[in-house]
Every structure is written in C-alpha cells, then in structure tokens.
Structure 1
Amino acid sequence: MTNWTEIDEIAKKWVREAGSRIKQSMQENLTIETKSNPNDLVTNIDKETERFFIDCIQQTFPGHRILGEEGQGDKLHSLDGVVWIIDPIDGTMNFVHQQRHFAISIGIFENGKGKIGLIYDVMQDELYHAFSGEGAYMNDTALPSLREVPIEEAIIAVNATWVTENRRIDPGILAPLVKRVRGTRSYGSAALELASVAAGRIDAYITMRLAPWDYAAGCILLNEVGGIYTTVEGEHFTFLDNHSVLAGNPAIHKIIFNDYLHADK
C-alpha cells in the first residue's frame, strides 16, 4: 500500500532542498536557451533541478513515473499508478530577468487522482501544499475555503498574450470583463497564479495554453479549498495535455464562463 504521508514529507524536503540549490545557483553564470520561441526560455538550472528530482524519485520510489517539463522523465500516455508531474522552475523568464516570482511546482497523482500538490515560491520561502482530503496550506497556515466575491470586487489574473494568439474565443470579450472587475494582474508564473487563487489573493485566473506541469499542482490545491477549474470551453483537464485554463472560486468562475466566455450561447 502506498504510504502517502511518507511521500508527502519526503517531497516537501526535496522541494526545499531544490529551492536552496536554485538560490545558490544565482551566484553562477546561467546558460540560457530557447525552446518553442525566443521567449520560451530554459536554463541549465531548470534542467539540473529537474534532474535532481528525477534522481531522487527513481532512487527512493523506483515504481513511480515522472512527467517533467524539460523532457527528462518518462513518455506517458496515461496516469496509471503513481505519477509525479514536475515543473522545476515555473516562471523561467522571471527567474532569468528578475530573480523572483518563480516557483517549483509538483503534482503527485495516483491513477489520475491528485494526491499531493506542492508549489514553492523560492525567493519568498512560501510553500503552498495540499494533501488530498487534508486541506491546503501556505507553510503552516491553513488556507480557508474560498469565499464568494462580487465580480465588481474581484481581482483576476490574465495572461495577456492570449489577446493576440487566441483563435477559439474572440479576445474582445476581455475588455468588458476587465472594466467590470476591480483589477487585473499578470505574474508570469502559472503555478503562483493558481496558488494565489487557492490562497484567495486573486479570485480567478484565465489563460489560453498551459501544459500539465504548469497546472497540476495548482489544481490539487484548488480541490482542497473549493476552487473550480476547467478549460475555457468548460471541459475537464486530462493532466496529460495542454489546456486553456479558467480557474477561480465557483461564483466568479460561473460568471466569467456564462457572461463573458459563452455569453452568445
């Protein structure tokens, strides 16, 4: 039988150790490469951090499988068994240019069900963590269930690139929504934006394309505080594919989905 308490304790230890390694690396010269486009960055620290997690997992839990952003894990076609979904540095552009506002993100699943979610804001030393059925926390502080907020008082995070890149939904819908809410934010790290929704710091997050390692841990956090997450079309996540994301407290999610994303239906 899987000892999830042990996995949770060990995973938290590894995350904090990886965070210390990242901080130490900031004194060194980074090797920066591009992936899908000139703004899609990866550094030697991304790759070394993912390798650290893979080596730790394979040595300690040899039966577990790994899906990692930098491609050093397994080639997965299902979430059967225990699967770790890892983003070693979410917000690499922030890491490179600002040396802050980036996170380590790990979601651990068993047969497709999220069991443990960890998002570590390295520079703030804030570890958001959730254990299925046991609530969500930021360090030692329990995160309360999300409260309903009037849309006029809501703060939403929006990845603005979808205004120019999206072809499925008219980006013009963004303007009336932005005018109606209290404010908008963009942090450059999907993991931290989802953690901020779970913590009630922002009320919703909208973006048109995330990979599983971007959203897996955040969704596990949201499960524990009553958050809702779907694609902008209202579909459930597979946790194996890229998806658009609409996440938030249930009331705000419903308003954005019905009144803005699909007002014509």
Structure 2
Amino acid sequence: MEDFWKDIYTYATSWVKEAGEMIKDSFSKELLIETKSNPNDLVTNMDKDVETFLYEKIQETFPTHRIVGEEGHGTDVTSAEGILWVIDPIDGTMNFVHQQRNFAISIGIFDQGVGKIGLIYDVMHDELYHTIRGNGAYMNDIKLPMLTESPVKEAILSLNATWVTDNHRIDPAVLSPLVKDVRGTRSYGSAALELAYIAAGRLDGYITMRLAPWDFAGGLVLIEEVGGVVTNVYGEELNILEKNSVFAGEKAFHKEVLQTYINKKR
C-alpha cells in the first residue's frame, strides 16, 4: 500500500508542476475573466483550463478515482467513499488576476474520507508544500518540523477583516477581542497558502467563516501531518464534501481560542 500512495503522489506532483508552467505561460496571453456568485467571485479561463488538465490526467491514469473540482468537475460526487481527489486549480483567483502572485494550486487526496496526500503549490515562488500521510510534510526538499506550542499572545492569526464585522455568521464580539490579543493578524487572499503557511510555521492560526472543500482539502492533510488541527470554528470535524467555516492552527493555540473566545460566547 505504501508504494501505491507513492505512485499516486509522484503523478500528482508532476501534474501540479506542469499545471504551474501552464499558468506562468498564460501571463503573455489574453486572460478572460468572468464572475460567478458575485462581482468579486472571479473565475478565469486558466482556472478552467488547469482543472480540465488535471481532471483528464487523473481520469486517464486512475479511472476508478473520483474527482471534485472548483470549476464544476465532480458535481455528482455525494459521498467520500473510495479515493477522492479534491482540486482547486487556482486558489486566490483575485490575486492571480490583480497581482499575478499570491495564488496556489491545491490538491487533497482522500481514501474513505481520510486525507492521504496534500499538495499546495505556490506557483510564482516555486514552493511546493507536500505530504504523504505518515511520511512527514515538506516545502520542496525541506522537511517541515512539528508545530510548536504558541499561546494566543504570541500568535500570528490569519483572518479576513470582513469576519470581524459580519454578524450574520459569528458575533463580532467573539473575534474582536481575539484580534486585539494576538501578536498580529494577516490576510493573504488565498486559503490554500494560509493553510500551507500554518504547516510551515509562518502562521499560528487561520479562521474563516466560509470555505469550500477544494479550498481546505490539501491544507488539511498538510497541517495534520505536522501536528496541527483543522476543524470548523466550533471545533467540530469538517465535512470534506461541504462548505464549512474553518479554524486551523497549532493545537495549543486552537484549544485556547476555542475555550477562551469562541465557546464562551455560544
């Protein structure tokens, strides 16, 4: 079984790197931009092309595997049975459009709902965060250490300012004290990168009130491999096929935030 997952991992990393070259090459061509659910929910022809490229490679090589992708592939998947690839071809499309940086390709591969392989590729920095469960997590060839304890007062938290003022999902009185108490806050505009940064120890936590499976699938596997935790904002297990709130972080930080800030206000 070990060789089985190594083979899948080898194919997946090769395809992700190839997809990254496709994206880089696109910068010299015309970019077609559309909107989805709202004017700020962007999708480009490259999002669609990269997902199609990955979908076709997976179907050709592993025809029994199932696929869920942001741009429409796998809409008929209703359970996490078997081997499931969860793909975001370009996470951080707004950054891709406006900055041509700070975006990533994200893939999480699951077996019966358990994360086995996590890949997040920061294309423009050529940083591939990757893991096969039980074999350690890496950034390129550098092994990532297990996360060390980080109390709230010493933590860097990734959080979009929108969630601090949006009382439709969580009372602002919950997050405002947390924002004041942490050492600092950041927002990168790509959930995949923010999760990768937690795995690499660059961030201690990440909170968002709405995230799709393809946004968090790859990061979930990476973070768990280095001893971190990924749940919804109430500490409950995520559903890999549904949109969730997401709270990811180092274990001690995660526990302190739940006990001191979130669950006290429920």
**TM-score normalised to structure 1 length:** 0.97
Give the distance between the partners of 1:115 and 1:176, measured in 2 at CA: 36
Is the 8 Å Cα contact of residues 224 and 230 (structure 2) preserved in structure 1? no
1:160 aligned residue = 161
Distance in 2, Cα, partners of 1:179 & 1:165 = 17
Distance 2:39 2:90 in 1: 18
Whether the 8 Å CA contact 1:166–1:208 is kept in 2: the answer is no
Q: Structure 2 counterpart of 1:163, which letter?
A: V
Shift in Å, 1:149: 1.6
Q: Which residue of 1 aligns with 2:90?
A: 89
Q: For residue 119 of structure 1, what is the aligned residue in structure 2?
A: 120
- Mapping of 1:27-42 within 5 angstroms? 27-42=28-43
The match for 1:170 is: 171
Percent identity among equivalent residues?
63
Indicate yes or no: 2:62 matched with 1:71.
no
Supply the AA of the counterpart residue of 1:20.
E
Distance in 2, Cα, partners of 1:130 & 1:105: 12
What is the alpha-carbon distance in structure 2 between the residues aligned to residue 30 and residue 156 of structure 1? 33
Question: Does the 8 Å contact 2:101/2:124 carry over to 1?
Answer: yes
* Per-residue CA distance 1:157-191 (angstroms, 9 max, x = gap): 00222234442420232221111111000000000
Normalising by structure 2, what TM-score? 0.97
* Residues 51-66 of structure 1 aligned to structure 2 (within 5 Å): 51-66=52-67
Report the Cα offset of residue 32 of structure 1. 0.3
Q: What is the aligned partner in structure 1 of residue 239 from structure 2?
A: 238
- Report the Cα distance in structure 2 between the residues aligned to 1:156 and 1:259, rounded to whole angstroms: 15
- Whole-angstrom distance in 1 between the partners of 2:165 and 2:77: 31
Q: Structure 1 residue 74: deviation in Å?
A: 4.5
State the alpha-carbon separation in 1 of the partners of residues 167 and 83 from structure 2.
34
CA contact (8 A) 1:41 1:93 kept: yes
Q: Secondary structure at the match of 2:40?
A: coil
Q: Does the 8 Å contact 1:65/1:74 carry over to 2?
A: no
The one-character-per-residue Cα deviations of 1:86-130 (angstroms, maximum 9, x if unpaired) are 000000000000000000000001111111000000000000001
> 1:258 offset after TM fit, Å?
1.1
User: Which letter does structure 2 place at the counterpart of 1:253?
Assistant: H
Which residue identity does 1:191 align to in structure 2? A
Q: Secondary structure at the match of 2:264?
A: coil
Gaps in structure 1 of 5+ consecutive residues? none
Q: How far off is 1:51 after superposition?
A: 0.2
Preserved CA contact (<8 Å) 1:54 1:73: no
User: Deviation at 1:73?
Assistant: 3.0
Query: Deviation per CA, 1:127-159, whole angstroms, max 9, x where unpaired?
Result: 000101111000000000000022211100002
Quote the residue 1:222 is aligned against.
Answer: 223
Residue pair 2:118, 2:131 contacting (<8 A) in 1 also:
yes
Assess, with a 3 A threshold, how the Cα gap between structure 1 residues 74 and 173 changes in structure 2: closer, same or farther: closer
Structure 2 letter corresponding to 1:214: D
Contact (CA 8 Å) 1:190, 1:215: kept in 2 or not?
A: yes
